[in-house]
Amino acid sequence: MMHRRQKRQIVFAGFLTVIALVNVLFFFILLRPARSDYFNLQGSIDKLRSDVGASQLFIAKLQRTSEQLERFEQDREGLFKKHFIKFDPGFGELSPRLSQMAVQAGVQRPVVDFTRDEVKQYGLYSVKIKIPVQGTYSNSVNFIKTLENSDTFFLINSIEVRANSDTGSSNSAVSSANVGLGLSLETFFFK
């Protein structure tokens, strides 16, 4: 009987050993694909993390752009009010400004010729100005500098310089020191 019992125990131990070996073999057979899947998933997670970081940077950039666009209209309005003349009182403001600049520079300013474009471009109406001025050379240069440094935006398209032909003057040295300028300017009105 004892012998039979030992045989059963040996068979049972052998059976358990076979099961253990099959389990170990299945473990090693299944470990490789699971391990490969794990590393693939780890790589995918790392890639997704980097994509999230790039997306966050892109979103931050878009938010900054959005804030700048929100301020754009305010900045545009501020620029227009500071450097351009309002459309409705346009010529009523422009003529006194040019007269004041001429007085500051010490030049004589006869009648000014204005023409305004009726089609607005970029929210502005172009105003062409032809202004003849007379004075000494240094005063004429000062007038041009006054135009350039003015808060109102003036484009000087052309300058025609000619000697002043003042025949009524008795002092020819004084009349030869005077010059006449024919300035072609452009400024802008806004609505």
Report how far residue 162's alpha carbon sits from residue 179's, in angstroms, rounded to the nearest whole number.
6
pLDDT of residue 165: 55
Strand (E) positions, the chain? 85-86, 113-116, 124-136, 155-163, 178-190
Report how far residue 118's alpha carbon sits from residue 104's, in angstroms, rounded to the nearest whole number.
32
Q: Are 83 and 189 in contact (CB under 8 A)?
A: no
Residue 140: what are its φ and ψ, rounded to 5°?
-65, -40
Please state whether the predicted TM-score (pTM) of the whole model is above 0.75: no
pLDDT of residue 28: 83
In the chain, which stretches have pLDDT less than 50?
167-175
Report how far residue 139's alpha carbon sits from residue 53's, in angstroms, rounded to the nearest whole number.
63
Q: Are 102 and 133 in contact (CB under 8 A)?
A: yes
pLDDT of residue 168: 44
